[in-house]
Amino acid sequence: MKEITILSGKGGTGKTSITAALASVAENAVLCDSDVDAADLHLLLHPQKKEEHTFSGGWIVQIDQSKCTRCRACMEICRYAAIHFNQEGQLEINPYQCEGCRLCEKKCAAEAITSVRNNNNYWYVSETRFGIMVHAKMGPGEENSGKLVSKIRGRAKEIATDNNLQYIINDGPPGIGCAAISSLTGSHAVLIVTEPSKSALHDLKRLVELIAGFSLPAYAVINKYDIDLELSSEIESYLKDNTIPLLEKIPFTPDVVKAMIEGKTITEYKPDSEITKSIKKIWERIRY
Amino acid sequence: MPFKIAIASGKGGTGKTTVAVHLYWYLANKYSPNIKLVDCDVEEPNDIIFFPEAEINEEKAVFQDIPEIVLSQCSFCKKCAEYCEFNAIVVLPPAHFAEVNNSLCHSCGACLEACNDNAIIEKKEPVGSINYYRINRGNGIKEGILKIGSVMQTMMIRELKKSVSNKNEIIIFDAPPGTSCPVVETVADADYVILVTEPTPFGLYDLQLSVDLLNDMKKPFGVIINKAGLGDDQVYNYLRDEGITLLGEIPFSREYAVKYAKGELLDDIPDIIDEHLRIIAGELENRLIQYEGNNYFKW
């Protein structure tokens, strides 16, 4: 089995559009949307949910005002400065600053602090016209995106094994932080989708350095390459210097947005286009 | 206290940076030179690219306190592992093994409280740096830059924000994409949030996620539609139906995309963009007056 993760560093380079297009030409693949923060793959693949699961996120920690003695022990021990006096003079925990370490709960002599699990995250196993898809919807402001990514990738792997499917195509998040690291760990190859801009090149360099730490084979695609030919060739030589094969250069076309509006992949929207040919070539390279 | 504006978006690549650098430039030139731009996209900070004249003035390393278990003192009681909510500590008493996994540790200090053997000490691990750049308008740019491989982006943002002086009149925070903890940290103390979206199905869906988050956080916000003209009108319908403020638009043009690509957004700003910025700044001022009530805010 081979899991291919699509990353970009910079957001908006076209990860999801290319992932969906690859899904449409791949056979024997499980599809996974690891961009749980802002998952969009479902807008092109229209999954029919077969399983729905809740995922326990962080803790919601609260102070029982009838028990609190305002001794401030919790406030002093909290390293996230999440505990404040409110206007009524009561100690309160700001849920957005709290990281759920529960040290305050353990330190509270009055036993006024309790925690409950936040069950505001969901993940699904669905059917799509291109095969099984595993995806998630994270509650707003959640802090466990890395764990949720590990969860859905783990399930995608089980499904691939159980159904004897050869590939997992994994749409990754932007950036290089915990969500990107979670979607890289244990993958077999990375497809980088970049674009010709100074920002994208800067972000690409940081991503390549991250991937190098995982010793994974990486491939690259320059999307919208004709927006700036000069920067495209700069990116090309950077990739060459770092021995990352450049698989295809895809031109800018409003067709990608038009396909998105129709809820289709670009390969379905323009089956005979150059882009569709490029997508097929990319898949033939990364599948081996 | 400074007036804090955060620029955010659910989807990446909608134009947060474009809006942040333009707004900084516009407000610094037309309203107040006492303004600072703070790049909170610590995984991939890009604001500085658009200010080729920027000079680095100061670089400060940021450290995370990572606990380390001193085996010679450790009684392998496992209490630290029980206290750790992040499963970052493994203790195997028969093997006399006890270790902290740095990449899972949140530096909360619970294990130190748990240990009765004085067997845990804290060491400083670098997680990134805060850079300050001077530029020829306004008070310049601060950016946080996460060390590659670190998962401590939220902490970096917290430290970055702490380092910004309250003497600025206006502070613009350029947020990372998404809707999870780094975004929450960035917008947490903002007085107003600008959501940047694009008129496409992806842009709309991710905008809705951001709106849910900001409503949850009870933050006042308005929306800028970037790349206007590229997609369809669903985003406009959504804003109208939900009664959400449309602060303004930035039209899509290929020439403009090229200027962005080259990092030359602020050279010869086209009249049409300048006009849209004027509308956005005006709308922003109207909103601020509305929210500030008696503390009538004037640029």
Return the bridge partners of B59, or none: B131
d(CA B165, CA B162) in angstroms, rounded, equals 8
Instruction: Say if strands B170-174 and B3-8 run parallel, antiparallel, or are unpaired.
Output: parallel
Residues of B within 8 A of A263 (CB-CB) are 201
Residue A18, pLDDT above cutoff 60: yes
DSSP state letter for A254:
T
Please report the residues numbered 66 through 85 in chain B whose beta carbons come closer than 8 angstroms to any beta carbon of chain A: 83, 85
Q: Where are the alpha helices (DSSP H) in chain A?
A: 15-25, 42-45, 73-77, 103-107, 145-162, 178-184, 198-212, 229-241, 255-261, 266-269, 274-286
Tokens for B110, please give them.
Answer: 């619970």
Chain A contact for B64 (CB, 8 A cutoff): no
Size of interface A-B (CB pairs under 8 A): 184
Residues of A within 8 A of B106 (CB-CB) are 99, 101
DSSP state letter for B257:
H
Residue A144: pLDDT band (50, 70, 90) is low
CA angle A115, B125, A100 (to 5 degrees): 5
d(CA B27, CA B5) in angstroms, rounded, equals 12
d(CA B101, CA B90) in angstroms, rounded, equals 8
Report the residue from B44, B182, B260 with minimal CB separation from A9: B44
Residues of B within 8 A of A140 (CB-CB) are 179, 209, 212-213, 216
- Residue identified by tokens 């600072």 is B36
Question: Residue B290: what pLDDT?
Answer: 66
Mean pLDDT check: name the lowest of A186-195, A261-270, B188-197, B271-280: B271-280
Beta strand spans in chain B (E): 3-8, 35-39, 55-69, 89-92, 97-100, 120-134, 141-146, 170-174, 192-197, 221-228, 246-251
Asked if A166 and A65 touch (Cβ cutoff 8 Å), the reply is: no
Would the pTM of this model clear 0.90, i.e. be above it? yes
Chain A contact for B229 (CB, 8 A cutoff): no
Residues of B within 8 A of A40 (CB-CB) are 11, 201-202, 205-206
Question: Residue B292: what pLDDT?
Answer: 59
Return the bridge partners of A146, or none: none
Question: Residue B289: what pLDDT?
Answer: 66
Chain A contact for B17 (CB, 8 A cutoff): yes
A114-140 burial, b at 16+ Cβ within 10 Å, e below that, comes to ebeebebbbbbbbebebbbbbbbbbbb
B262-298 burial, b at 16+ Cβ within 10 Å, e below that, comes to bbebbeeeeeebeebbeebbebbeebbeeeeeeeebe
Largest pairwise CA distance in chain B: 73
Determine the residue type at A165.
Answer: L
Asked if B248 and B280 touch (Cβ cutoff 8 Å), the reply is: yes
Mutate which of A36, A44, A101 to disrupt the B interface (most B C-beta within 10 Å)? A101
Per-residue model confidence as pLDDT tens for chain B (299 residues): 888 999 999 999 999 999 999 999 999 998 889 999 999 999 999 999 999 999 999 999 999 999 999 999 999 999 999 999 988 999 999 999 999 998 889 999 999 999 999 999 999 999 999 999 999 999 999 999 999 999 899 999 999 999 999 999 999 999 999 998 899 999 998 999 999 999 999 999 999 999 999 999 999 999 999 999 999 999 999 999 999 999 999 999 999 999 999 999 999 888 888 898 999 888 888 877 666 554 545 54
- Neighbouring residues of B119: CB distance < 8 A, sequence distance ≥ 6: B69, B70, B71, B73, B74, B75, B98
Question: Residue B293: what pLDDT?
Answer: 54
Tokens for A151, please give them.
Answer: 């969860």
Question: Residue B299: what pLDDT?
Answer: 47
Q: Where are the alpha helices (DSSP H) in B145-253?
A: 153-162, 181-187, 201-216, 234-242
